[in-house]
Amino acid sequence: MEYKDILVGRKIVAVYLADDKKAIRFDLEDGEEVIAKTDGDCCSHSWIENVEGVDALIGGTVAAVEDIEMPDLGQPKGEYGVVAYYGCKITTDKGHCILDYRNDSNGYYGGNLAWPGDYFYGGVWGQNVSTLDWQKLSP
């Protein structure tokens, strides 16, 4: 079992994005909070760019959580030089939600979502450590 499967079979009642976009929180029907944090290797910075389909999460029971390929949008280079695009699809009995997250590096490093139980690096200078100041997402 992968750590992101912690959501499978559980009902989400609220979703929050950290104001720095470095973490997302899922409040579950049983009162538990599940936090996924963006992470990046060494000298890189990761963040959640967009959450599409929040309405499929609120009140939905999760059937699957999977990493998906995202298109390279060819946007201007980031602070470190190269922006990589990542996605996570959360499927519920109400539809699906896409978490679009990104990593900015020199092109050598990558990013990921760290779920509870996953190793979380945080970066050399703590550049991937969220403030965990939450903003509720509405459908």
- Reported as a single tens digit per residue, the pLDDT across 69-85 is 988 776 656 666 788 99
Nearest to 41 by CA among 88, 114, 129, 105: 105
pTM for the model: 0.93
- Reported as a single tens digit per residue, the pLDDT across 88-130 is 999 999 999 999 999 998 888 889 999 999 999 998 889 999 9
| Separation CA 57–CA 28 (nearest Å) | 10
| Separation CA 29–CA 13 (nearest Å) | 6
